[in-house]
Amino acid sequence: MTAFGFDSTADDVLAGVDLSGKRILVTGASAGLGVETIRALKAHGATLVGAARDLAKARRALSAAGAGDIDLVELDLASLASCRKAADELLAKGERFDVIIANAGVMACPFGKTQEGFETQFGTNHLGHFVFVNRLVPLLNNPGRIVALSSSGHRFSDVDLDDPNFERTPYGEWAAYGRSKTANALFAVALDKRLKPHGVRAAAIHPGGIMTELGRHLTPELIAQMTGGRDIASAFKFKSIPQGAATTVWAAVRAPADEVGGRYCEDCHVAEVTEDPAARSGVRAYALDPARADALWAKSEEMVGERFAF
């Protein structure tokens, strides 16, 4: 197989790949990586369904990218009622999927709560996708895949299953983001274990550092916290949006299922486990811990008031 890396774009990864007959769902279809992921997959023959909170914005962004004319479903991940309604609409149609890409999210936002009272980042990035994706599992083909967008930001913090909503812990924007991104990685671990017998594999990916709308809440103070006081240009090597979508599509349709199932991927390869705080790549062991993944699953079911058995 061709080797891809940091500089690869989604089109590089998909070169020569015919996705005709494949049906793929992508959340966060109104900006940034979601739009580019949809564009690239659609250009290679796949049928796309996009999920977004603002459908008018999604239509404008997709049209501008040359990826218009796809089915859209309204989805606000900060509302479990919206997640359930969107999933129910897709289940009612009964059209099957080969891949679900949980791409949408928020980052480093001020303290807030979702519609059901969960801390905004954990509630939106993890619990919203937990409900939406799990409800859609009956529509996944065998073989099928689920790709959850995590982040190197998972290294800021493990999940806190005793105080997920910062009711007793002082709130920190990066700590909350880290918790949510660790949760995304652990969700993929748990999904992969549960769905592998049914021919569906799940992987988490870090797209890279990319300047998108995700950074709308970043202040100079938050950037200094993230970089340890260094200039952001020297602290990070940024990717373009096409480069940022590469690992998503690689894990979704190009990489061997057994290679990526239950793993955390970056730069179009499976990441190494590292505890080195100075490392710019790699994944923390706690983000791949099967016991931690099961504990998060149980806590998530308790929080959303819904059980999922496959």
Rounded distance, CA 36 to CA 244, Å? 9
The string of pLDDT tens digits covering residues 70-125 is: 999 999 999 999 999 999 999 999 999 999 999 999 998 999 999 999 999 999 99
Q: DSSP assignment of 199-216, as one string? A: TEEEEEEE---B-SGGGG
Which residues share a beta bridge with 72?
50
What lies within 8 Å, CB to CB, of 175 at 6+ separation is: 156, 157, 169
pTM of the model: 0.93
Residue range 10-304, CATH number: 3.40.50.720
pLDDT of residue 131: 98
**Is 171 tagged catalytic?**
yes
pLDDT in tens, 146-161: 999 999 999 999 999 9
Residue 278: pLDDT band (50, 70, 90) is confident
Q: Say which amino acid occupies 38.
A: I
222-254 residue pLDDT tens: 455 555 555 544 556 789 999 999 999 999 999
Q: What is the percent of the chain where pLDDT is above 90?
A: 86
CA 264 remoteness from chain centre? 11
Angle at 132 between CA 144 and CA 125, to 5 degrees: 105
Question: Tokens 């930001």 sit at which residue?
Answer: 153
Residue with tokens 């070169």: 15
The DSSP secondary structure of 107-141, one letter per residue, reads: -SPPS-B-TTS-BHHIIIIIIIHHHHHHHHGGGEE
Is the distance from CB of 184 to CB of 129 less than 8 angstroms? Answer: yes
Q: Is the pLDDT of residue 218 over 60?
A: no
